[in-house]
Chain A
């Protein structure tokens, strides 16, 4: 049947991503650039399309301008459909009043009408801030096979890191009997990936009950999942193995970019079988000049390289002038790095110009962390910005010189 969809995907993209600081000041986290020509949300959207899920609601709230523009009619992901496709779902004013999305569960609760239009049996809940390639169709098969009410995708993490995640304890057949959010003493290494499949009727029942509870924080992890567990619903853990990374922090975002490099990259984007789609403009090819040195790097169309680029990821339209050295860094779209400038262990956001002979980031080894330069800045010549700095306006640099 064409009009009825078996499963509707709901993508939570309203979070601020406050731990990305300067990168999400004017931009929601799912719209942050990744890997040269992608934005974080491309991975989830491409996974949906590649899995055969063609109806995706994207729930937006925080700074949605860039994200709305980026998703548009969904054309790059083949989601420009006459029925279904990608739909942006911002909070709205209803008959009973207007509310912001108070939590992840509340966001879905407010859009139950949208889901019902397609009369699905299942609802897939996704978040727009993870980098991974996953076939949701296999997860849905598992959900059906187990005759589950809720299936949660889990990934094995090292025991010492397990206390950073929501941990599932399961029986041998995968049935979940315990869920602990960031436990101090984890008794399992199965971490929730924030990907849920619910049977629609069960989900709606719990969302309605949750909405009646004034004490609830309307969150899947805090309220819905524990309530379902307490009621002994059929909840199963779907084991996923492969690349998966939460890019919620500066260091994890940087690491995920670096995972694109190396002899055999741990995150392979050249895989024709599972393409990641993105909206990009038509750029000229990349030009590598006679004086350029490019090693172990990922470079996108529109770049002009006359300097040295090592262990770095460059976005579209980046210009690296002669004598400039960029290493261990992520340089986003349309950044210009002038002659003699040095950038090391840094993330430089879109449209910024780094003046001649400026020095950004750790001089040799990264001591404390990654330096971040916000979008659209004009970093003056000869300025020095050290290790682990967060520059969101040029004034921050000048004060330092005066000191």
Chain B
């Protein structure tokens, strides 16, 4: 079964504006050496998808730098491979006033030429702010078996325990898995199943829906396409029960990064047989721990030099921890440099931050202290 992929690189950017001010949601670094898009891309590649369109909006320079030719995902192909789909404007028709798309449906309308040029029967659509390691081929099989127009991948959540994003879509389905209704999540509501925003759609169904939306001026994918056609079109749900991390805010980014220290989450994402998560290789040297290094319960990438104390922390590639420095409960992004005798607690340092000798910075679990990219403290 031929399937192509389509990734929304900017959806929900505003929820974590500290990190997306200078980059797309897709290129937000996560888990020592990855960027969020790596999960969506790897899930697709691991299920045999070799043609993937990436819909961009703005600030996608860091994303293009990360993707390169796509060779790190084995997507540097003569036919297929990675196709970056920048925002499309008709040069002479200014009827939309130069406005970029604002919704999922408008984004899809903007790439309708890509969709119509695909020869594949089905498309997998995915956002980047949901992190998981899912066997998409199983969901695709079910989609085909059901002869479905659309299969929405859902996950179970418990109010009060799981972090449920405000804009979540609650999926109601009957016993055979057929979706009967889609509603917006209201705070405090007892919900069981919400959309992961990963879905499999038949290409012809999608093209029809886009055409119809254009004709009627529709703008909301779930309201105007899914909810309107629920019960009529063959829309199914596929329940995913593995590890799923949803980034909804800076606090959630911090808390979810810390979740990687638990073996269950770590193994559920990175230690799945035949389904590794790929990323851009950087050829960093292995990490060097000196005689005075004291590292406990931490997740560390290659290319670091650790001369001090690191506890309960996530260190990205090329982080340097100086002598006498104590780093606790921190997320230090690529190439963060800390001098000697620095003390950090609950800090998120964006790329290339320099923290000079003797500085002491602390946030709190509920409100991590954020240092923007390239700052010097």
* A residues with CB within 8 A of B: 35-37, 75-76, 260-261, 263, 265, 269-270, 275-278, 280-290, 292-301, 313-314
Contacts and interface: CB of A to CB of B under 8 A. Distances in A.
Interface of B: 31-33, 71-72, 266, 270-271, 276-279, 281, 283, 285-303, 305
A295 B295 CA distance: 9
Given A35-B286, A285-B32, A290 B276 contact: no
Contacts of A283: 276
B290 A36 contact: no
Which of B32, B270, B286, B301 is most buried by chain A, counting CB atoms within 10 A of its CB? B286
21 contacts: A75-B71, A277-B283, A281-B276, A282-B279, A285-B300, A285-B302, A286-B300, A286-B301, A288-B296, A289-B296, A290-B297, A292-B295, A292-B296, A294-B293, A295-B291, A298-B286, A298-B287, A298-B288, A299-B300, A301-B33, A301-B302
B285 A269 contact: yes
A210 B159 CA distance: 83
B299 A282 contact: no
Contacts of B298: 287-288
B277 to A, nearest CB: 7
Contacts of B281: 76, 280, 282
Given A37-B286, A286-B287, A313-B286, 16 more contacts: A35-B286, A275-B283, A282-B279, A284-B271, A285-B299, A287-B266, A287-B300, A288-B297, A292-B296, A295-B291, A296-B289, A297-B289, A298-B285, A300-B286, A300-B302, A301-B286
Nearest to A298: B286
Contacts of A292: 295-296
Given A288-B295, A301-B33, A301-B301, A276 B285 contact: yes
A290 to B, nearest CB: 4
B288 to A, nearest CB: 5
A387 to B, nearest CB: 25
Given A290-B296, A295-B291, A270 B285 contact: yes
A270 B288 contact: yes
A287 B296 contact: no
Given A277-B283, A294-B293, A301-B33, A261 B302 contact: no
A320 to B, nearest CB: 13
Contacts, number: 99
Contacts of B303: 270
Given A277-B283, A290-B297, A301-B302, A284 B289 contact: no
A282 B289 contact: no
A276 B284 CA distance: 9
A293 B296 CA distance: 8
A313 B293 CA distance: 15
B289 A270 contact: no
Contacts of A277: 283
A283 B277 CA distance: 8
Contacts of B294: 293
A285 B291 contact: no
B330 to A, nearest CB: 14
A288 B279 CA distance: 21
A300 B286 CA distance: 5
Nearest to A300: B286
B304 to A, nearest CB: 9
A289 B262 CA distance: 10
Given A37-B302, A288-B295, A301-B302, A296 B270 contact: no
Given A75-B71, A294-B295, A295-B293, A285 B33 contact: yes
B289 A294 contact: yes
B290 A263 contact: yes
A285 B301 contact: yes
A297 B293 CA distance: 9
Interface centre among A275, A293, A301 (most CB of B within 10 A): A301
A76 B282 CA distance: 10
B277 A282 contact: yes
Contacts of A286: 287, 299-302
A285 B31 contact: yes
A75 B76 CA distance: 12
B291 A263 contact: yes
Contacts of A265: 288
Contacts of A289: 296-297
A364 B176 CA distance: 67
A398 B146 CA distance: 58
Contacts of B31: 285
B69 to A, nearest CB: 11
Contacts of B288: 260-261, 265, 270, 297-298
Contacts of A293: 294
Q: Choose among A36, A288, A301, A314 the residue with the greatest number of B CB atoms under 10 Å from its CB.
A: A288
A285 B303 CA distance: 11
Contacts of B277: 282, 284
Contacts of A284: 266, 270-271, 277
Nearest to A279: B281
A294 B270 CA distance: 23
A199 B293 CA distance: 51
Contacts of A287: 266, 298-300
